[in-house]
Amino acid sequence: MNKPPTVAREPQVSAATILLLAAACGLLAANIYYAQPLIKPIAESLGLAPQASGLIVTMTQIGYGLGLFFVVPLADLVENRRLVLVCVALCAGALAAAALATSWPAFLACAGAIGLGSVAVQILIPLSAHLAPDATRGRVVGAVASGLMIGVMGARPVGSFIASVASWRTVFAASAVVMVVLGLVLFRKLPVRAPHIRMSYGALIVSMARLAAATPILRRRAFYQSCLFGAFSLFWTTTPLLLAGPDYRMTQRGIALFALAGVSGAIAAAFLATMLVPQGSPLALAVLVAAAIGVDFGVQGNFVL
């Protein structure tokens, strides 16, 4: 009697694994944004001039950008769990060092390392696509990406609330502990994925340039996301400084409540509207809240698309 032909089984991913990937993405992404509402107290504590305080956020983004170009491609060469664990360990060490930093150059170096390690997010999302069967791949990737966006949106109010009852150093110290715990959980639970590509690291980096040159839709999407991310970073870097300044004189707790508006992300608003009303008035604050909701809603919608 002939045996039926063997059919290759599709990969399967459990609900627990999806939740783990989503939570890991959220916690890692949050590391990049904790500092946004804390720029003023960090700069004052470390003696960084107000006009240079934007570097506190910029250095994290520079580290993240370098990681996207030079670390994330390694996911096609290196076993993914090992690579993610190295990134998480880098985050934990950099966050702990940032909490202990006594000078602004040391803190900025730590900020760059935090961004570099946080690119583990962009290894986990493709890993979720690899683990999911074709029929549910979109749903799985969407769920994991939603975890990332929750981390991005939630980092600001969480950071501000912790700083309001303790200090900005506590925010980074607590996140370092979270990264250690996350690393242990991922070590035990994250599935192993060993890539089968046989290519040198240099050739892999060069292939990215060829891919961009040969794929117009990739160039367009990269341009859209660059503009979106630029607007998002500009808004959330400058607005906490405005709220803490002489026009509003908000405390960290007040800034945290403002940041919660972005988490809701339910309607659209324009940057221009924030310039048409006198700063310091209740109407101006209401317009800023609407803008915060609109900016975060736009980021979330475009990221999912």
Give dist(CA 55, CA 47) in Å, integer. 13
**Between 250 and 64, whose confidence is greater?**
64
For residues 7-43, b (16+ Cβ closer than 10 Å) or e, as one string?
Answer: eeeeeebeeebbebbbbbbbbbbbbbbbbbbbbbbbb
Residues sharing a CB contact under 8 Å with residue 21, sequence separation 6 or more, in sequence order: 124, 125, 127, 128, 144, 147
pLDDT for 216-227, tens place per residue? 999 998 898 888
CA separation, residue 272 to residues 100, 232, 276, 277, 284 (Å):
40, 14, 7, 10, 12
Q: Identify the CA nearest to 299 among candidates 187, 224, 248.
A: 224
Give dist(CA 178, CA 158) in Å, integer. 13
Give dist(CA 85, CA 93) in Å, integer. 12
- Are 154 and 26 in contact, with CB atoms under 8 Å apart? yes
Determine, yes or no, domain membership for 2.
no
Share of the chain above pLDDT 70, in %: 88
Determine, yes or no, domain membership for 33.
yes
Determine, yes or no, domain membership for 9.
no
Chain-centre distance for alpha carbon 298: 16
For residue 298, what is the domain's CATH number? 1.20.1250.20
Determine, yes or no, domain membership for 43.
yes
Determine, yes or no, domain membership for 3.
no
The four Cα atoms 210, 215, 219, 224 give a dihedral, to 10 degrees, of -150
Determine, yes or no, domain membership for 1.
no
Q: Identify the CA nearest to 144 among candidates 164, 120, 115.
A: 120
Reply yes or no on whether the pLDDT at 75 is more than 50: yes
Sign of CA dihedral 22, 25, 31, 32: negative
Give dist(CA 235, CA 271) in Å, integer. 9
pLDDT for 15-59, tens place per residue? 899 999 999 999 999 999 999 889 989 999 999 998 898 899 999
305 falls in which pLDDT band (50, 70, 90)?
A: low
Determine, yes or no, domain membership for 6.
no
pTM, whole model, 2 decimals? 0.80
Considering its fold, how many domains does the chain have in total?
A: 1
Q: What is the pLDDT of residue 7?
A: 45
Determine, yes or no, domain membership for 151.
yes
pLDDT for 118-165, tens place per residue? 999 999 999 999 888 888 888 888 888 888 888 888 898 899 899 989
- Domain span at residue 200 reads 15-304
Here the tokens at position 55 are 């570097």
Q: Identify the CA nearest to 150 among candidates 263, 228, 297, 21.
A: 263
Vertex 257, ends 256 and 258: CA angle to 5°? 90
